[in-house]
Amino acid sequence: METLLRLLQQDCTMPRGELARLLALSPEELDRRIAELEQNGVIRGYQAIVDKERLDRNTVTALIEVRITPERGGGFDRIATRIAKFDQVTSCYLMSGGYDLMVVVEGGSLREVASFVTEKLSTLESVISTATHFRLKAYKVNGALLATEEPDQRLPVSP
Amino acid sequence: MDSKIAAHVRDIPRSGIRDFFEVVQSMRDVISLGIGEPDFVTPWHIREAALFSLEKGRTGYTSNLGHPRLREAIAGYVARNFHVSYDETSEILVSVGVSEALDIALRALLNPGDEVLYHEPCYVSYSPSVILAHGVPVAVPVHEKDGFRLDAEELEKRITPRSKALLLNFPTNPTGATMPRENLERIAEVCRRHDLVVLSDEIYAELTYDGAEHVSIASLPGMRERTVFLHGVSKAWAMTGFRIGYACAPKALIEAMMKIHQYAILCAPITAQDAAVEALENGGESMERMRGEYAVRRNFIAGALNDMGLPCPVPRGAFYVFPDIRSTGLDSREFSLRLLREKKVAVVPGPAFGSLGEGFVRCSYATGLEQIKIAMQRMSEFVRELKSGAV
């Protein structure tokens, strides 16, 4: 199961036939295992890893530290879920340490992200404070290094 | 100058691999399945340890036997994983790759004319190393039908009063063969009965699959005192260029090997020794990650070869498969050369690993999966064309 997940995380577009061969499984058994992982929620979806810096279009990503007052009864979950529902939010985590939520926001410009923070986020009643950090450059995303790798420098034949 | 070259050196034939290497090197855009080293770069935490060692200014010699810290790490690693204990002050020697350890062990053991048995097909250096140590190499054939395991009877048939040592290499380069405990016990029994020293090259020990248990012959009863356990960090941690191997053996033999090592080599490079400590002590996870990758490639390549009609049992060790190409009607060399010229895929002809490799080729899966997929596609076309008589 672990190897299957690893391979899917590396490349979920790999044809099922190839995947079955790599795992030495029958195609039916492979389909069954993948269906199981999907049904019990281990696999939550399949996405492309995009290096947005290569697009002409500007995108801005910010990591926002948010401090909130937990609610009686709901704790952090209700407010966190509320924040996570915004389309601009790509990830949202409850954190230990000096702040409570780490909210990752994407927008088309600095202004767009800033107005999201000032108008949507800071105005929520339970939000005490925010600190916004803009991302400057990505080196590794979801396990994929974004730099072009060096070519193989090994001798072409060796014992 | 030819006439001045020592006869025993002159008579060693050129390596079949070197021959082939030159042909491959002269061509472009070749996908090579002929590489006997990992495609991974040494894991970062190990490279970082090497950098740290340089930063600290550790650039001198170490003790001839190897840095005490590394010997301690080796003793711990071997005890944990191979269930044999060696004293790090007197029974372990750090060498420049297993090749050096094997060479000095042979030179320390052999009197001229002593015979050394080894299983063939095997790694290219065994027979020449024995000859260079003035010994006589005696090949024991191993067969595809036995999974290329060494058979105790075949071994015993070739033992003579001059037999001094047996050289083992499981998991095997080029066949990927592994040796289950009961088979190894039979070999150990023959060695004890005939008083043979065993040189056990276990460089691929970590790379076993499908739950195959790796057993070191040194761990079997009555064997520690007659075994030279040879290992290193090259394959498990993709550290071939660091050149760190080691030998573990009874004190008297390490002492004798040390005499040669101290005059010929002095010591293994200190930066590489420091990196090796990191590999042995903290490299478990990075090794597992690479092994997991090899395991799925192995499934793929063995499946693809069988599908194209080149019978290939799924080996349980190392990173090689050794398919049988006899059904194509070509010999190993012609098969490899034509595959190279017509489809730009390099494999190594079996006879490079001894005459008993005829009819086979070695394909390494220490190459990225994408490359392997293309190579298998091209190879499959090649075999189809051959069999349909299209070419």
> How far B298 CA lies from chain A's nearest CA (Å)?
8
DSSP states of B337-363 as a string? HHHHHHH-EE-EEGGGG-GGGTTBEEE
- Shared-domain flag, residues A59 and A115: yes
Task: State how far the Cα of B257 lies from the Cα of B261, in Å rounded to an integer.
Answer: 6
Name the residue in chain A with its Cα closest to that of B298.
A22
CA-closest candidate to residue A128, choices A65, A63, A62, A69:
A69
Judge: B35–A156 Cβ closer than 8 Å, yes or no.
Answer: yes
Give the domains, in start order, of chain B with CATH numbers: 2-42+285-387 (3.90.1150.10), 60-283 (3.40.640.10)
- Shared-domain flag, residues A56 and A11: no
- Shared-domain flag, residues A84 and A123: yes
B129, B294, B296, B307, best to mutate vs chain A, most A CBs in 10 Å = B296
Neighbouring residues of B57: CB distance < 8 A, sequence distance ≥ 6: none
Of A3, A23, A157, the CB nearest to B21: A157
pLDDT at B214 over 60: yes
Q: Averaging pLDDT over each range in A56-60, A70-74, A113-117, B15-19, which range is the top one?
A: A113-117
The encoded tokens of residue A149 equal 């790798």
Predicted confidence band at B387 (pLDDT cuts at 50, 70, 90)? confident
Q: Is the peptide bond before B112 cis (omega within 30 degrees of 0)?
A: no
* CA B213 centroid distance within chain: 18
- Shared-domain flag, residues A21 and A80: no
A146 located within any domain:
no
A21 located within any domain:
yes
Longest Cα–Cα distance in chain A: 69
The encoded tokens of residue B106 equal 């042979």
**Residue whose structure tokens are 């590396």:** A10
Looking at the DSSP bridge assignments, the partners of residue A140 are: A145
pLDDT at B179 over 60: yes
Query: What is the pLDDT of chain B when averaged over all its residues?
Result: 96
- Shared-domain flag, residues A88 and A13: no
pLDDT at B391 over 60: no
Task: State how far the Cα of A156 lies from the Cα of B261, in Å rounded to an integer.
Answer: 31
A156 located within any domain:
no
Q: Looking at this protein, which amino acid is placed at residue A44?
A: R
> How far A33 CA lies from chain B's nearest CA (Å)?
17
Task: State how far the Cα of B311 lies from the Cα of B323, in Å rounded to an integer.
Answer: 6
Chain A hits for B352, Cβ within 8 Å:
159
> How far A154 CA lies from chain B's nearest CA (Å)?
8
- Shared-domain flag, residues A61 and A119: yes
Q: Does A56 touch chain B (CB under 8 A)?
A: no
Q: What is the mean pLDDT of residues B224-242?
A: 98
Q: Is B273 exposed, middle or buried (0-12, 13-18, 19+ CB in 10 A)?
A: buried
Task: State how far the Cα of B265 lies from the Cα of B62, in Å rounded to an integer.
Answer: 11
Task: State how far the Cα of B101 lies from the Cα of B231, in Å rounded to an integer.
Answer: 9
Looking at the DSSP bridge assignments, the partners of residue B317 are: B208
What backbone torsions phi and psi does residue B213 show, to the nearest 5 degrees? -85, 130
Query: Domain total for chain A?
Result: 2
Q: Is B283 exposed, middle or buried (0-12, 13-18, 19+ CB in 10 A)?
A: buried
A65 located within any domain:
yes
Kind and range of the H or E run holding B259? helix B251-264
- B342-363: per-residue pLDDT in tens? 999 999 999 999 999 999 999 9
CB-CB contact of B96 with B268 (8 Å): yes
Q: Does A13 touch chain B (CB under 8 A)?
A: no
Q: What is the mean pLDDT of residues B377-389?
A: 93
- Shared-domain flag, residues A95 and A24: no
Q: What is the mean pLDDT of residues B138-167?
A: 97
- A23-45: per-residue pLDDT in tens? 999 999 999 999 999 999 999 99
Q: What is the mean pLDDT of residues B317-336?
A: 96
User: How far is CA B295 from each of CA A3, A69, B149, B208, B256, rounded to the nearest angstrom?
Assistant: 10, 50, 20, 8, 39
Judge: A23–B30 Cβ closer than 8 Å, yes or no.
Answer: no
Of A6, A24, A159, the CB nearest to B17: A159
The predicted pLDDT at position A55 comes to 83
Looking at the DSSP bridge assignments, the partners of residue B137 are: B116
A110 located within any domain:
yes
Neighbouring residues of A54: CB distance < 8 A, sequence distance ≥ 6: none
Of residues A95 and A51, more confidence is placed in A95
- Shared-domain flag, residues A70 and A21: no
The three-state secondary structure class of B248 is: strand
The encoded tokens of residue B154 equal 């075949």
β-strand B115-120 against B245-248: which pairing, if any? unpaired
Name the residue in chain A with its Cα closest to that of B34.
A157
CA-closest candidate to residue B372, choices B318, B303, B324:
B303
Q: Does B15 touch chain A (CB under 8 A)?
A: yes
Chain A hits for B369, Cβ within 8 Å:
22
What backbone torsions phi and psi does residue B375 show, to the nearest 5 degrees? -60, -40
Neighbouring residues of A111: CB distance < 8 A, sequence distance ≥ 6: none
A127 located within any domain:
yes
Chain B hits for A157, Cβ within 8 Å:
17, 20-21, 24-25, 32, 34-35, 346, 348
Q: Does A8 touch chain B (CB under 8 A)?
A: no
What backbone torsions phi and psi does residue B282 show, to the nearest 5 degrees? -130, 15
Predicted confidence band at B390 (pLDDT cuts at 50, 70, 90)? low
- Shared-domain flag, residues A122 and A59: yes
Q: Is the peptide bond before B174 cis (omega within 30 degrees of 0)?
A: yes
Q: Hey, how many other C-beta atoms are within 10 angstroms of the C-beta on A138?
A: 12
Q: Does A23 touch chain B (CB under 8 A)?
A: yes
- Shared-domain flag, residues A130 and A60: yes
Q: Where are the alpha helices (DSSP H) in chain A?
A: 2-10, 16-23, 27-39, 77-84, 110-115
Structural domain of A7: 2-39
Chain B hits for A6, Cβ within 8 Å:
292
- Shared-domain flag, residues A35 and A56: no
Looking at the DSSP bridge assignments, the partners of residue B73 are: none
Of A18, A21, A154, the CB nearest to B35: A154
CA neighbours within 13 Å on the CB side: how many for B247?
35
- Shared-domain flag, residues A30 and A90: no
Task: State how far the Cα of B347 lies from the Cα of B322, in Å rounded to an integer.
Answer: 10
Q: Is B6 exposed, middle or buried (0-12, 13-18, 19+ CB in 10 A)?
A: exposed
Q: Where are the alpha helices (DSSP H) in B83-158?
A: 97-109, 126-132, 152-157
Judge: A157–B296 Cβ closer than 8 Å, yes or no.
Answer: no
Rounded to two decimals, the ipTM of the complex is: 0.76
The reply to whether the predicted model has a pTM over 0.90 is no
Neighbouring residues of B216: CB distance < 8 A, sequence distance ≥ 6: B82, B83, B84, B200, B202, B205, B229
Alpha-carbon dihedral sign for residues A122, A124, A128, A131: negative
Chain A hits for B295, Cβ within 8 Å:
3
Kind and range of the H or E run holding B278? helix B270-282
* CATH number of the domain bearing residue A56: 3.30.70.920
The predicted pLDDT at position A4 comes to 95
> How far A86 CA lies from chain B's nearest CA (Å)?
37
The encoded tokens of residue B290 equal 């690479």
Judge: A21–B15 Cβ closer than 8 Å, yes or no.
Answer: no
Q: How many CB pairs under 8 A join A and B?
A: 59
**Residue whose structure tokens are 């061509």:** B27
Judge: B21–A7 Cβ closer than 8 Å, yes or no.
Answer: no
Of B20, B292, B304, the CB nearest to A6: B292
- B235-291: per-residue pLDDT in tens? 999 999 999 999 999 999 999 999 999 999 999 999 999 999 999 999 999 999 999
- Order across the sheet with B163-168: list the strands: B92-95, B245-248, B227-232, B197-201, B163-168, B115-120, B136-141
Predicted confidence band at B339 (pLDDT cuts at 50, 70, 90)? very high
A158 located within any domain:
no
A153 located within any domain:
no
Those of residues 68-87 in A touching chain B at CB distance below 8 A are: none
The predicted pLDDT at position B245 comes to 98
Chain B hits for A3, Cβ within 8 Å:
292, 295-296
Judge: A159–B173 Cβ closer than 8 Å, yes or no.
Answer: yes
